[in-house]
Amino acid sequence: MLGSFAVGKTSLVRRFVEDAFDDTYLSTMGVKVSRKALTVDGAGLTLMLWDISGREGFEGLRPSYLKGASGAILVGDTTRPRTFETIDAELGSLVAAVGDCPKVICANKCDLPPAVEMEDVAAQAARIGAPLFSTSARTGAAVEEAFQTLGRALLGR
C-alpha cells in the first residue's frame, strides 16, 4: 500500500481485512502488516499487506519495506489532487526496489465531492499500466474488486 499520508491506505486495508471503517485518523508510523486469505478465480491466495507510512520523514525506510514486494496498490485521495502527483514517485521507488510488478490504483474517498478530474486520473492509470478503481473505505465501494484484481494479476504472473 503506497501513497501520500492520509489518503486512506490504512482504512482500505481495514475495510478489506476486517470489513470495518473507523472515522478516527491515526497516522501509520513506519509500516503495519496485515494478512488476508482470499480466493481468486478458484485459486487460494494469502496477501501480506504492508501498509507503508506516507508521512514525510519515512522516505528513507520505504526501500527496505518494498524489497520482496510482489505487487502494489497505489492510493490517491480524490479530495486532494496533489496526492495523485506523488503516485509517480511512489511507483519509481517500487520499481527501483523490485522491478516491474502488478499494480492497481485506488482513487479513494469517492464518497466525497471530488477535487480531481477523474479523466486525468484515468490517463495516469493508463500511462502506468494499472487498473483504476474509484474506492471508498467508508462505504466499501470497489475495495474488494481492487484487491481481487491485484490478486488475479499476482496469480497470473
pLDDT value of position 64: 77
> Over the chain (157 residues), what is each successive 10-residue block's mean pLDDT?
92 96 74 91 94 66 81 98 95 94 98 97 98 98 98 92
pLDDT value of position 26: 67
pLDDT value of position 128: 96
Question: 10 is in which domain, residue-wise?
Answer: 2-156
Q: Which positions ≥6 away from 96 have C-beta within 8 Å?
A: 63
Q: What is the pTM of this model?
A: 0.92
HSE at residue 129, side-chain half, CA atoms within 13 A, is 6
pLDDT value of position 31: 74
Q: Which positions ≥6 away from 131 have C-beta within 8 Å?
A: 104, 105, 125, 146, 149
pLDDT value of position 75: 98
Q: What is the CATH number of the domain that holds 60?
A: 3.40.50.300
DSSP H helix total and E strand total for the chain? 6, 6
pLDDT value of position 157: 73
What is the total count of domains within the chain? 1
